[in-house]
Structure 1
């Protein structure tokens, strides 16, 4: 059994440092991977932020909560991924960035919000610039 290592706040980690994994934290039944060990983890590599085509956006608003993207979440967006139906994308609409899901309706592509509690009008994807495809997200669970 490995000795228990203390977590280190990310703010205290020098840039370029590879973080050591503290251990597996079960979120249900005990996992057979509990004894699995890894030498370390680089958040830059994990989130693939070292790519020239990857960008980070902070989400503002609740239009995508049913897609698991909440107000103030951070998303990693790839500019070199071809957007297809079903992708969550960042698009430029009326001169500003929006986060929406790319959907097909009656043969046409639309950008749709994912919050049934509020009314958001679908935007035709025709003539709209799809800036990039959302690949992953990061959330602060303390809020």
Structure 2
């Protein structure tokens, strides 16, 4: 971006060289922003919100799951909530994970440190039970976002 001095120099050249004024103005125009008075609302102007960009929906490692029941209310997840799952996210303490256990997908809460996580199933009332399994547990994805329609929800 040009400094104020170089902009003034370009403007003065535009008027001092007959016949080349238009050329100078054409070079100058993209660099100048003539705005008049600043809008008081400009401080509150925000870029457009795009849920596609925010959640990366469309990427091959991102999946959306809609919940069908209130069984996970203890985790703050309710029927009709949309879970945005990331298959590339790393598991960390306090995150909600989807794991494949004994051939079934389970939604659980992870607690602990990498390499030593404990997985808990949380019921409607918030009671925890450590996930029991007979086979290996495979991390399927980590919940990055929960989208909820609250327009018609009864509290």
TM-score of the pair, normalised by structure 2: 0.57
CA distance in 2, matches of 1:63, 1:108: 26
Q: Which SS does the other structure have where 1:113 is aligned?
A: strand
- CA deviation after TM superposition for structure 1 residue 55, in Å: 0.8
Aligned to 1:140: 149
Q: Which runs of 5+ in 1 are unaligned?
A: 1-32
- Return the match for 1:98 from 76, 94, 106: 106
CA distance in 1, matches of 2:71, 2:93: 18
Residue 39 and residue 103 in structure 1: after superposition, are their counterparts in 2 closer, same or farther (change >3 A)?
Answer: closer
Flag the structure with higher helix content. 2
RMSD in angstroms over aligned alpha carbons? 3.1
- Return the match for 1:43 from 51, 67, 73: 51
Paired residues in the alignment total 110
Deviating beyond 6 angstroms after TM superposition, the runs of 4 or more aligned structure 1 residues are none
Aligned to 1:78: 86
Q: Which SS does the other structure have where 2:117 is aligned?
A: strand
Q: Which runs of 5+ in 2 are unaligned?
A: 1-40
Aligned to 1:127: 136
